[in-house]
Structure 1
Amino acid sequence: MTALAMSPTARPQRAVLRLHRPALTVWGAFQLLVVGALLWVHLFRAPAAREDHFASYFVLTDVNNIMNFLGEVLSYVSVAVAAWAGAALTGRELESGTARLAWTQSVTPARWLTAKLTAAAVPLTAGTTLLALLFAWIWTTDQDVLVTNWSWDRVLVPAGPMSVALVLFALAVGTLAGVALGRALPALAVAAGITYAARYFFGRKWDNIWPDRHFWPVQLTATAVLLALTALAVVAAFALLGRRTDIKGAAV
């Protein structure tokens, strides 16, 4: 099936989308669930908290608990992206040999990797941007009933462009790990670990580190650094893939 998907007459991006349709379905379902939960908070839970400050407390419907939970989930989605990119997007195909089969059908290694990155980056960027805008709007609009501070990682990470940069960084790191290791499980572990470390570092409580900093300076600085690291990881992945295929081609 993979060989047919990568036939010379087909566009590589379209083939990648067909191959990873289950992952796209999961990503779409995840977005719908989060959007529904955020709108439920804004339309029902926040107004209820305003109307009755002395209402009986229930952990599963408390507006702060829901927003904190959604913020944590959104701030760590990059780790899942890194694991998927390392294992399924690149590592598994290199390990099984299906990538090399595609390269024999007029799809160069560079074009193969470009198709992989493009097909994944577009829905990830669009979806993460939507979730970031919605989360930031609801957190700002309903701030009168929320006790969280902008510098808390469960707000800082998902409420701005840093969330998009972190997901793209995860995609690049996962791709690089898959190309470098050529095996699904090791690439998954390495990519997830590196992305978790990056999320921890960039999502730390900035009010304890730089008390005079504000939301946008922190967001833009972190975003710029993450995008620079993303570019380096992508360049490294292409360079390593080209070097390995050139060496193997010369050996043959």
Structure 2
Amino acid sequence: MTALPAAPSPTPAPAAASAHRSLRRLHRPALLVWAVFVLLVTGWLLWLHLSEVPAERTCPHLPFDSEEYAANCDYSAFTDANNVFNFLGEALSYSCVAVAAWAGGALIGRELESGTAKLAWTQSVSPVRWLAGKLTAAALPLVAGGGLLALVFGRAWTSDQDWLVSNWTYDRVFVPRGPLLPALLLFGLAVGALAGIALGRTLPALGAAAAVTLVTRLYLREAWKPLHGPLHGFWAVQLSATAMVLVPAAAATVGAFWLLRRRTR
């Protein structure tokens, strides 16, 4: 008598899908912090553009002792539209340092130090796919959020530049007004990944990534100043500076993959 074939066992969930769920769960707090930061800065910029700057424009035309002047023009150094705008510009132009610290410490370094990465590599997820998944999952929201911030910042500055003191050549306006902002965020991510793989520990990778990104950022601030001579107009200089950032970002990314493959052979 022929035996009946055994019933097939339930198909386990693919390892890749399980890895993606683990990745989303592990870095959900960072994604939420980034989303809150983007929404907060965007709302702040819109408030300046739609409410504060128009109110301040009317101040010179109001009687000094009028109720309307007291209600709309009694602002301090911490609420002055130009001061707040400059502060937001500085914060955005150096946000890549925070991204590098997070990428080096939490995204890569912590998982290598705790052994979580090696555990993932034993579950049908290769080291290269592991790193590619992490960088992709981080790069997409960084580019999307950075692009939105650059769009809103550029719109606000272009509309209100007659009232704002900052010139477009100043870093606090030049960096967050175009694609240079998301490019710097990607650079911070790449440097953080490379530092995390090279050091394999949370705090050393965090510190090294932040330091390298900050030094590079300060160097670039001087490096793209000469571009204002041969190149004319904001966009010519902005796109050239963006290319100057994307080249080392690509090099750091390639270096991270190369170092990971060499150490996991």
Question: What TM-score comes out, normalization by structure 1 length?
Answer: 0.90
Map of 2:209 onto structure 1 = 191
Shift of 1:176: 0.4
Distance 1:236 1:9, change over 3 A: closer
Shift of 1:70: 0.5
Question: Of residues 225, 240, 249 in structure 1, which corresponds to 2:244?
Answer: 225
Amino acid at match of 2:264: T
Amino acid at match of 2:104: G
Are 1:13 and 1:118, in contact at CA under 8 Å, matched by a contact in 2?
Answer: no
Map of 1:15 onto structure 2 = 22
Shift of 1:201: 2.4
The CA distance in 2 between the partners of 1:18 and 1:61, in whole Å, is 38
Structure 2 gap segments, 5+ residues each:
1-12, 65-72
- Equivalent positions of 1:44-83 (< 5 A) are 44-53=51-60, 55-83=73-101
- Equivalent positions of 1:115-194 (< 5 A) are 115-194=133-212
Map of 1:249 onto structure 2 = none
Shift of 1:203: 3.0
Residue 27 of structure 1 aligns to a residue whose secondary structure is helix
- Equivalent positions of 1:104-123 (< 5 A) are 104-123=122-141
Decide which structure has the larger Cα Rg and report it: 2
1:27-75 CA-to-partner distances (Å, cap 9, x unmatched) read 0111111011001101111101211137445112111001001001111
Figure out how many residues of one structure are paired with residues of the other and give that number.
Answer: 241
Distance 1:179 1:207, change over 3 A: closer
Are 1:153 and 1:204, in contact at CA under 8 Å, matched by a contact in 2?
Answer: no
Shift of 1:15: 2.6
The CA distance in 1 between the partners of 2:52 and 2:200, in whole Å, is 47
Are 2:190 and 2:253, in contact at CA under 8 Å, matched by a contact in 1?
Answer: yes
Map of 1:237 onto structure 2 = 256
The CA distance in 2 between the partners of 1:30 and 1:97, in whole Å, is 30
Residue 15 of structure 2 aligns to a residue whose secondary structure is coil
Are 2:16 and 2:125, in contact at CA under 8 Å, matched by a contact in 1?
Answer: no
Question: What TM-score comes out, normalization by structure 2 length?
Answer: 0.86
Are 2:104 and 2:206, in contact at CA under 8 Å, matched by a contact in 1?
Answer: yes
Map of 2:50 onto structure 1 = 43
The CA distance in 2 between the partners of 1:111 and 1:206, in whole Å, is 35
Question: Of residues 83, 91, 100 in structure 1, which corresponds to 2:109?
Answer: 91
Are 1:91 and 1:181, in contact at CA under 8 Å, matched by a contact in 2?
Answer: yes
Are 1:109 and 1:242, in contact at CA under 8 Å, matched by a contact in 2?
Answer: yes
Distance 1:120 1:209, change over 3 A: closer
The CA RMSD over aligned residues, in Å, is 2.0
Shift of 1:207: 6.2
The CA distance in 1 between the partners of 2:247 and 2:229, in whole Å, is 25
Distance 1:110 1:209, change over 3 A: closer
Structure 1 gap segments, 5+ residues each:
1-5, 247-252
Map of 1:215 onto structure 2 = 234
Give % identity: 59
Residue 144 of structure 1 aligns to a residue whose secondary structure is coil
The CA distance in 2 between the partners of 1:114 and 1:161, in whole Å, is 23
